Amino acid sequence: MNSGIISEEDKRKAGLFMASALEQGADMARISLSKSILDSFSFLNGELDKVSHSADCSVFIHLFVEGRYGTFSTNRLEESSIGDFIGRAIETTRMLAEDRCRTLADISRTAANARTGTELGLCDESYFSLDSSDRLRKAMSGCGFNKMKNTDSYKVISEEFEYSDSIDDNYLIDSNGFEGRHVETSFAVCSETTVSDSGGLKYSGYWWDSSPFLNNLDISDCSETSLRRAAACMNPQKRRSGKYNMVVDCSVSSRLIAPVITALGAGNIQQKNSFLSESLGRKVFSEKLTVTDRATDFGKPGSRLFDTEGVATSERKVIEKGTVRMFFVNTYMSNKTGMAPTVEGISRPVVEESQNLKSDGKRVSLRDLMRHCRNGILVTGFNGGNCNSSTGNFSYGIEGFAFRDGKITHPVKEMVITGNMLELWNSLEAAGGDARSCTRWQIPSLAFRNVDFSA
């Protein structure tokens, strides 16, 4: 049975980097050796367009020398060059200013249960039996261009379809004695279809699926869904600027929680660049918002047993009924600010389903949210935009549909939403239970009241 692509010889090399660092004067060191393979087969208009094979192996080195800290990486792993590389790295680190807050994570906080890398069940053994012919067959089976028909309302211009699979294997050691490994396979398909209407105007639709497991990959619906999404965008209408209820589809809703997660990072808080600086333990969002970091769910994308410092992850509430329960505090930020250390970042955020719309034990769906809001704008895509990390003010271009009495009426065009993250998340009406299983961030469809739309 395979358990990844990092060999004992690779581990020995990582050990050589460590030994060389300590021998040449580093007080502490952390070494990360990463290996990955990616294969992809792309089709353009039903014909094979591109075949690509990638294989990478590199070492990332964190050095702690006389109270100074440097980071280095190389993909030149010849044994004969390691000593020279580390020597130059130590010399460079010594030039930097002293910062005693830079230390390794305490060994008691690191994971002790990630030895094989497969403990979380994210490595599909069937990956190792795939060859080029299998991959080509998978790709051909999913590419739907030849089944796409022109209709009275649209003409199919093009379809780009891609099948890809990959394996990522990461091995992390530090001079305190931590040793951890994480192996993950991934299988993915995506399709982008462009159609034109009778006037020659073009519309595109995109869809994808992915899974750590080949058998769970939904290849067959991808092309059809991208065509459907392209056709659905036709004949958009402009809406008046105003305040509308907003429902955000689960395929894009992570865009709205990302600035919140970023603002909970201790690095931003320490730099006074976070709109959530003073929020720990305070209720600053709607009580309908609960975010949990389910970092250790077995067999789920995004799960991991340790963070990039080797610190053990666990399931934790990040925001509970609108109250901020944790910041992301790595060892450096903990030493610098005095905050208790947690983990350096979120692994697998899950926005919990709202209970106020649940009935008969069924998951709250996108349709339920639209029905609940009655009238408004359904957002199915974001087009650019930004969030000011200091203030939480945001503005995003959106794509989507107007809905009335819970039903879609027509696509909208050239619309922008603006607001402030604190206000937005305080206007949360409900969170669905429909997060896509293929995503690392489990963010369902979301409904908000009275959002500023400009058009």
Site for other proteins in 29-88 (CB under 8 A): 44-45, 47-58, 68-76, 85, 88
Distance CA 57, CA 41 (A): 22
Window 352 to 391, contacts with other proteins (CB under 8 A) = 383-386, 388-391
Q: Which is nearer to other proteins, 119 or 192 (CB)?
A: 192
Number of amino acids touching other proteins (CB under 8 A): 74
Q: Which is nearer to other proteins, 19 or 416 (CB)?
A: 416
Point out which span in 119-127, 165-173, 268-276, 296-304 binds other proteins (CB under 8 A). Answer: 268-276
Distance CA 80, CA 53 (A): 28
Window 293 to 352, contacts with other proteins (CB under 8 A) = none
Q: Which is nearer to other proteins, 261 or 417 (CB)?
A: 417
Point out which span in 9-17, 119-127, 213-221, 413-421 binds other proteins (CB under 8 A). Answer: 413-421
Contact 341, 304 (CB under 8 A): no
Q: Which of 22, 37, 140, 416 binds other proteins (CB under 8 A)?
A: 416
Window 96 to 135, contacts with other proteins (CB under 8 A) = 96-99, 102, 132
Q: State the minimum distance, in angstroms, from the CB of residue 356 to other proteins.
A: 26
Q: Which is nearer to other proteins, 115 or 282 (CB)?
A: 282
Q: State the minimum distance, in angstroms, from the CB of residue 131 to other proteins.
A: 11
Q: State the minimum distance, in angstroms, from the CB of residue 308 to other proteins.
A: 15
Contact 34, 11 (CB under 8 A): no
- Residue in 221, 183, 185, 182 with CA at minimum distance from that of residue 205: 221
Residue 417 binds to other proteins (criterion: CB under 8 A): yes
Q: Which is nearer to other proteins, 400 or 433 (CB)?
A: 400
Q: Which of 20, 93, 118, 170 binds other proteins (CB under 8 A)?
A: 93
Sign of CA dihedral 18, 24, 29, 31: negative
Q: State the minimum distance, in angstroms, from the CB of residue 75 to other proteins.
A: 5
Q: Which is nearer to other proteins, 2 or 271 (CB)?
A: 271
Q: Which is nearer to other proteins, 177 or 242 (CB)?
A: 242
For residue 422, CA distances in Å to 230, 274, 275, 381, 383 come to: 33, 12, 8, 21, 21
Window 170 to 199, contacts with other proteins (CB under 8 A) = 194
Q: Which is nearer to other proteins, 120 or 284 (CB)?
A: 284
Q: Which is nearer to other proteins, 190 or 438 (CB)?
A: 190
Q: Which is nearer to other proteins, 345 or 397 (CB)?
A: 397
Point out which span in 119-127, 144-152, 163-171, 396-404 binds other proteins (CB under 8 A). Answer: 396-404
Q: State the minimum distance, in angstroms, from the CB of residue 290 to other proteins.
A: 28
Q: State the minimum distance, in angstroms, from the CB of residue 35 to other proteins.
A: 11
Window 198 to 257, contacts with other proteins (CB under 8 A) = 201-204, 233, 241-243
Window 151 to 170, contacts with other proteins (CB under 8 A) = 157-158, 160
Q: Which is nearer to other proteins, 156 or 312 (CB)?
A: 156
Q: State the minimum distance, in angstroms, from the CB of residue 336 to other proteins.
A: 8
Provide CB contacts within 8 A for 145, sequence distance 6+: 43, 45, 46, 156, 159, 161, 223
Task: Give the phi and the psi of residue 246 in degrees, each rounded to 5.
Answer: -125, 125
Point out which span in 94-102, 137-145, 356-364, 365-373 binds other proteins (CB under 8 A). Answer: 94-102
Distance CA 146, CA 161 (A): 12
Q: Which of 3, 397, 408, 423 binds other proteins (CB under 8 A)?
A: 397
